[in-house]
Chain A
């Protein structure tokens, strides 16, 4: 295995494009090293992105959003007070990944690129409307985060392409987001179901909403039906019931060692209700 430490994304993309064998990018490494250890992947080229200047930074964009470097670990996201104030749901999703030790290494970009439908940080990014900057041999482009995962373990990135930043939009006034997942233990498990809700209020009414579900389809999904169930409502019991119904309808899970299909559908509805309530309270400026 060749271990590369490029200092620009262009160089990283060039090494990747030139690689003829198995290639992996290394950010936090909490997925890649596990796969290597298990013998699932034996990379010929491993490209460590952490030597590229700026990858460890969180920066405010001119528009008021946040540009997050691909090597920013969860523990740094969680300690960034302004980011947490703007996007508590995104940060709490990332902070649920693995242990304290894993938080010291794991990154949003890595969690996204691993392509797991159960990735805890990804529903929050979907709900937030995050934008992903992809750098390839021909330069960089921005795509909506929903376009990155295409199936379990697979992304839309072409050979030679690498994620170079993730950008969260400016937090709208009277907005709030939240992420909840279901796991059998209190920590250390992969989500059996996950749900992120991001919304903006106009007075007491939900003016805009985005709802994402994890672990109920081959990728994290954004559910328009869930959003429509609560837009225009005050998130009263009827709206929450409609949301739960929509979430159950949107969930198309499989049964596996972590949970049954029936369980995932049922709990998708429960989590959507509970996450929406938290997001609503946050948008109202209430502690949640």
Chain B
């Protein structure tokens, strides 16, 4: 079976790899690029553990072929922290918003996408935005609080910078 040459930008780095046409972006990230922070929880778009952004849009990387990523800009959990942790990452630790931590990368990527669109979401908006990110450990309570706290801090920083 002939493979497809894929060139993309992942977390700002140029990457290229050969993908089986059936391989998903999730498979490619994990198995070709060793970016195992993106998780597979279901493979059917129902759990959100594989959340990444592609050209700025939040998607499930299990629902996209690796070949479709050709020429695209992909951001994963591994690209979230720069020199310092992203406020969401820090607040998740401080609020104990993770227990097993397996859903955490997907939830952080999804929450970051939310705050970029809506810097001041209500609890309900957070819950509906994250409805596709299953967490079995926390009951979501501390996750919602951590997102709110990070959003508040980011708004503060934004005002401080303006």
Contact = CB atoms under 8 A, between A and B. Distances in A.
Nearest to B20: A1
Interface in B92-149: 110, 113-114, 128-133
Given A29-B63, A33-B63, A186-B131, A75 B24 contact: no
B21 interface: yes
| Size band of the interface chain A makes with B | 20 to 34
Scoring A98, A100, A105, A186 by chain B CB atoms within 10 A of each residue's CB, the highest score goes to A100
B88 interface: no
B21 A100 contact: no
A99 interface: yes
A100 B48 CA distance: 9
Contacts of A29: 63-65, 68
A102 B22 contact: no
Contacts of A186: 128, 131
B50 to A, nearest CB: 8
A188 B46 contact: yes
Contacts of B62: 33, 37
Interface string A28-42: 111001101110000
B41 interface: no
Interface string B57-72: 1111011110110000
Given A1-B1, A188-B132, A101 B68 contact: no
Interface string A93-104: 000001111101
A100 B63 contact: no
Interface residues of B, number: 31
Nearest to A76: B57
A48 interface: yes
B38 interface: no
Contact of A100 (B1, B44, B64, B131): B131
B19 to A, nearest CB: 9
Contacts of A28: 63
A38 B44 contact: yes
B43 interface: yes
A46 B21 contact: yes
A102 B131 contact: no
B51 interface: yes
A245 interface: no
B132 A99 contact: yes
A106 to B, nearest CB: 9
A48 B60 CA distance: 18
B58 A2 contact: no
A26 B67 CA distance: 12
A3 interface: yes
Interface string A173-202: 000000000000011100000000000000
A248 interface: no
Contacts of A2: 21
B45 interface: yes
Interface of A: 1-3, 26, 28-30, 33-34, 36-38, 46, 48, 50, 73, 75, 98-102, 104-105, 186-188
14 contacts: A1-B21, A29-B68, A38-B44, A98-B45, A99-B45, A100-B113, A100-B114, A101-B60, A101-B63, A104-B59, A105-B63, A186-B128, A187-B128, A188-B132
Shortest beta-carbon contacts, A-B, top 4: A99-B132, A187-B131, A3-B21, A104-B57
